Amino acid sequence: MKVAYLGPEGTFSEEAAIRFFQGQAVEWVVCPAIPDVLEAILNEDVLFGIVPIENSIDGSVNVALDGLLRHGELFVCGELVLPIEQMLLGLPGTRIDQVTEVWSIPPALAQCHNFIRQRGLPTRHFTSTAAAAKEIVTSGRSDVGAVASAWAAKKFGLSILASNIQDAASNHTRFLTLRKGEIVPDTADKTMLLVLPSTEHAGVLASILNVFAAFGLNLSWIASRPVKTQLGVYQFAFDVEAGLHDERMQKSLSILRTFDHQVRVLGSFAAWKPGPR
């Protein structure tokens, strides 16, 4: 089967994709941008695609979320949560005191601000953490380091000069596995929903949340996105900790629709349970 992910090779997205489909025969399709991953699924060039949807520091990945909301044929069929551990990489034999410049993408550099500032190191921007790591190999320079993952170090044959250099100790990104067309496994214990309120009035979101609370359903993620047709009108995406076939979920959906809220099931799947990396 073919699976698309956000490239280039050596990124956290590649690591997430390979870990999710570990042990399966996969032909990988590397895409330059998140919309390209979604298009590959819609065009049936691939069976699955995997994209980042939220980060514990930066919040929702809006380009992925908006694409999912825009294309009704896309369906979430799985998730994976990957710890984001930033490393300083260099050529084998490089000492950390030799590094005079740090390369990476702006978000990764920002996540390691304290480490870089304390050493007074200038930075250089690249299109991805993997591109920065790969350029060190190409350049052959032992006076520069790249902020990237241990996965990239292994991929490009680099040494880890310093581990876990990010400012925040807990940094995780959640990835979604998408396909074209709805499929709900018997093991589904989590459902992603999109709700567009029927009217805009005080307390409308609270009234929606109360429906889930009445049936004891926990919400593990809430995101609001503009409908993009009228200023001030928003739709809401939810992760509900119950499968679509759960009786409580079915009753909740029925009540929401009774109040004329537009409800769309974005996916129902087995919640990610962490294992050894």
| Tens-place pLDDT, residues 245-261 | 999 999 999 999 999 99
pLDDT of residue 275: 64
CB 175 within 8 A of CB 65: no
Kindly report the pTM of this predicted structure. Answer: 0.85
**Is residue 12 domain-resident?**
yes
**Is residue 277 domain-resident?**
no
| Tens-place pLDDT, residues 98-110 | 999 999 989 889 9
218 and 231 assigned to the same domain: yes
Helix, strand, or coil here: 148? strand
Specify the CATH number for the domain of residue 139. 3.40.190.10
Identify the domain containing residue 235 by its residue range: 188-272
Q: What are the structure tokens assigned to 183, written together?
A: 């499929």
Model confidence band, residue 203 (pLDDT cutoffs 50, 70, 90): confident
Average pLDDT of the chain, as a whole number: 93
103 and 206 assigned to the same domain: no
Q: What are the structure tokens assigned to 103, written together?
A: 């390369």
Q: Is the pLDDT of residue 238 over 90?
A: yes
62 and 124 assigned to the same domain: no
Amino acid in position 104 = S
Inter-helix orientation angle 62-70/34-42, to 10°: 20
78 and 198 assigned to the same domain: no
Count of domains forming the chain: 3
Q: Of 150, 181, 212, which residue sits at a domain end? A: 181
Q: Is the pLDDT of residue 277 over 70?
A: no
**Is residue 246 domain-resident?**
yes
147 and 177 assigned to the same domain: no
Phi, psi of 126 (to 5 degrees): -130, 170
